[in-house]
Structure 1
Amino acid sequence: MRTALIAWDYPPSPSGLSTAAREIAESLAEQGCDVTVFSGDRTGTSMSDGVRIVGCAIEERSALGRLRTYAGIGHLAAPRRFRDAVLSAHAAVPFDVVEATNWYAPAALLAGRRDLPLVTRNSTPASWSRDSRLSPRNRVDAWAADRLERRQAHGSAALISNTAEHGRRIADLYRLDARRPHATIGLSLSQAVLRRAGAATYPPAQDPLRILFVGRAEARKGFRELMDAIVQVAQEADAGSVANFRVDLLGVPDRDLPETLSPSARRRIFALGRQPDAMLFDLYEAAHIVAAPSRYESFGLVYQEAIAFGRPILASGEDPSAREFVGQTGAGLLASATTGRAIAECLRDMLTSDTLRAELRLKALKAAGTFSRATLGRQTIEVYEQAVAGHRDTGWARAR
């Protein structure tokens, strides 16, 4: 099977979407698929671990680059660039299927084509990561992004979500009918993660204990509430009632830190910005606790990585993925709500008890290894085959 995979970025670019794209692409290649990734973060063509990568970056001074500067309509620039690149390759040697993320709808202009079925794999929709306080321009942008995501979903021959709960919420958001195939397939962890995680030991109790947060400083991630909790617990650390600690923020630059941080909290926080995988692995190895109090995760890659490394997780019970991967396995503690007070209660318990951290680590290690590339690749091919067959037999597709 010949597959086109559209990705906003691809490793070594350090993001959750790029990591997912690599796992999907390489799992398919290992199953014998001919895989081409069209990546928006680079130019040129290259090969990596059996996967062909075609760069689709937009030059700022080009017509599409100028189009991107306009509110609303600017969201069409990247889908246009991806469409042209995919169709050019498709004309030379046809693809059987194209896959893309739903996030900001990079395949919106390929949706519904009669000659090329589209499969959309659902990450977190743009609207679920958006600050509610938007300027008029950003409201136009948000409206356009949401419309394009819905267009792509409705023009897809099949969809994939990482958990059943995520699939239900996506179907409600995009108003999808039940006849459209919608599979549940979990992502795998990279071989590099599994190698490092398998060799990682747990650091001894020390001063300071290390807490790791991986992600962006956004409301969905519970970042502001985590910072509120750090302020509360930092005062207790100063008083000696809980262990001293430091917080490593991977993916968060200094400019995104709240101005309301107390001096006690601020001197314990290290905002590291975006970093390559090598630093991510080092930070997991050094961490005593992984703090991930998200309100919602489409899958929860951080949960899975922390579990693989055997690190106790502080998560939020609001997130269905956290309830599944952290709560059901016992690999961490679930805050009763995504609030500073509730997060602080869990963090306090984890900082004051070496025994608790050891128990959570053992449960995390027991839960490790749930998802493999072999499973990801086989299940994805099954969806592709269903999409190709259904695409021929239904009236969903419209000639473009």
Structure 2
Amino acid sequence: MRTALLAWDYPPSPSGLSTAAREIAESLAEAGTDVTVFTLDRTGREQIGGVTVLGIAIPPESLLSRLRLWGTVGHLAAPLAFRKSVLAEHARAAFAVVEATNWYAPAVLLTGRRDLPIVTRSSTPAAFTREGRPNLRNRLDGAAADRLERRQARSSAGLIANTAAHAGVIAQAYGLSGGRPEAVIGLSLLPEIAAAARAAPYPADGAGPVRLLFVGRAEARKGFDALLDAVAILAAEQVRGEFPPFSLELVGVPPGDLPADLSDAARSRIRARGRIDAEGLAEAYAGAHVVLAPSRYESFGLVYQEALAYGRPVVACAEDASARAFVGAPEAGPLARAATGPAVAEALRPLLRDPALRSAYRARALTAAGRFDRTSLGRETLDLYRRAIDQAR
């Protein structure tokens, strides 16, 4: 089977979408599939991990690049670029199926072709990541993006969700009525990362501050506001000597994203590193006593899976169904009752005080790790592809 995968970016880019794209593509390649990844973050053609990676970056001075600057219609620039490149490759050697994320609908202009079924694998919809009170232009822009995502999902020959709860959220968000093949398929971790994680020793207790780690963006969906509020609360308590010192490393968050009104006590405990490479991320996980991931919503939660692989206790949030399934159910870490500063502080406080409790959570985290691997990811994805192809005929 010859397949295509549309990606906004691809490793070594460190984004969650690029990491997922690599795992999907390489799992399919290991299952014997001829995979071509189309990605907008580079140019040229290369072979990576048994996968053909075709860079189709939009030239800065092109008409499509200028189109991107326009509100609402600018969201069509990337789908136009994907459509042109995919159809050119399809004419040269036909694809059996094309997979794309729902995020900003990269495959929306490829739907409706009987010779080229589209499968949408849904991450978090773009609407779920917007914050604040947008002005009229941004509201119209967001509404246009939402319409494109709905159109791609509704016109897809097959749908994939990372969890059953996420499938329900997507169906409601896009007004899906069923009638097409669907599957719930968890994402895998890079095998080398999983192996290195299992081999990483837990940091010694009592040799310095309790080291906390956050991996993600400074946005409300990730619970970043609740995280900083919790750190401010706990920093004030630590000054009074109520538990040992602690530090917080922020990966994916540059210093400029820290709020100006953050207390000095909290700021002194935080190191904001911005985006780092895979080696730096591995070192960050290996050096952490506890991983903080108080997201309000995750479509899957790769950070949960990475933290479990390293055997790190995870402080997550009960508002997120993935956290309840992957962290709460195996008791791999405490769940804050809500994404608020006091609730996150309440969940974290016992871990700061008690090394034995951290060790107990570590043991359960290691037991819970490894639920998803490339073999199952590739096999289940190909099964959904075949059902989608059959229905499209």
Query: Structure 1 length as normaliser, TM-score?
Result: 0.97
Q: Distance in 2 between matches of 1:155 and 1:57?
A: 26
Say if 2:219 is the partner of 1:218: yes
Say if 2:157 is the partner of 1:151: no
**Number of the residue aligned with 1:176:** 176
Say if 2:114 is the partner of 1:114: yes
Q: Distance in 1 between matches of 2:9 and 2:391?
A: 29
Asked whether the 8 Å contact 1:159–1:182 carries over to 2, the reply is yes
Q: Which 4+ runs in 1 deviate beyond 6 A? A: none
Q: Which runs of 5+ in 2 are unaligned?
A: none
Give the share of equivalent positions with the same residue, in percent.
58
Displacement of 1:191 in angstroms is 1.2
Q: Distance in 2 between matches of 1:132 and 1:84?
A: 36
Matches within 5 A, 1:4-15: 4-15=4-15
Q: Distance in 2 between matches of 1:213 and 1:363?
A: 20
Asked whether the 8 Å contact 1:224–1:258 carries over to 2, the reply is no
Displacement of 1:117 in angstroms is 0.0
**Number of the residue aligned with 1:395:** none
Number of aligned residues: 392
> Residues 80-99 of structure 1: CA distance to partner in whole angstroms, max 9, x if unpaired?
00110000000000000000
Displacement of 1:185 in angstroms is 0.4
> Residues 123-145 of structure 1: CA distance to partner in whole angstroms, max 9, x if unpaired?
00000111142122221221111
Displacement of 1:207 in angstroms is 1.9
Say if 2:30 is the partner of 1:30: yes
Q: Which runs of 5+ in 1 are unaligned?
A: 393-400
Q: Distance in 2 between matches of 1:82 and 1:103?
A: 14
Matches within 5 A, 1:48-127: 48-127=48-127
Root mean square deviation of aligned Cα: 0.8
> Residues 329-369 of structure 1: CA distance to partner in whole angstroms, max 9, x if unpaired?
11000001111000011111110111110000000011111
**Number of the residue aligned with 2:243:** 242
Opposite residue 225 of structure 1, the aligned amino acid is: A
**Number of the residue aligned with 2:17:** 17
Opposite residue 21 of structure 1, the aligned amino acid is: A
**Number of the residue aligned with 2:334:** 333
> Residues 374-400 of structure 1: CA distance to partner in whole angstroms, max 9, x if unpaired?
0000000000000000011xxxxxxxx
Q: Distance in 1 between matches of 2:243 and 2:107?
A: 50
Asked whether the 8 Å contact 1:23–1:187 carries over to 2, the reply is yes
Displacement of 1:192 in angstroms is 2.2
> Residues 194-246 of structure 1: CA distance to partner in whole angstroms, max 9, x if unpaired?
12102101001132111100001111100011000000001111111121111
**Number of the residue aligned with 1:166:** 166
> Residues 258-288 of structure 1: CA distance to partner in whole angstroms, max 9, x if unpaired?
1221001001111111111111100000000
Opposite residue 171 of structure 1, the aligned amino acid is: A
Q: Distance in 1 between matches of 2:154 and 2:163?
A: 20
**Number of the residue aligned with 1:255:** 256
SS at 1:210 equivalent: strand
SS at 1:235 equivalent: helix
> Residues 310-332 of structure 1: CA distance to partner in whole angstroms, max 9, x if unpaired?
00000000000000000001100
Opposite residue 152 of structure 2, the aligned amino acid is: Q
Displacement of 1:56 in angstroms is 1.4
Q: Distance in 2 between matches of 1:261 and 1:228?
A: 9
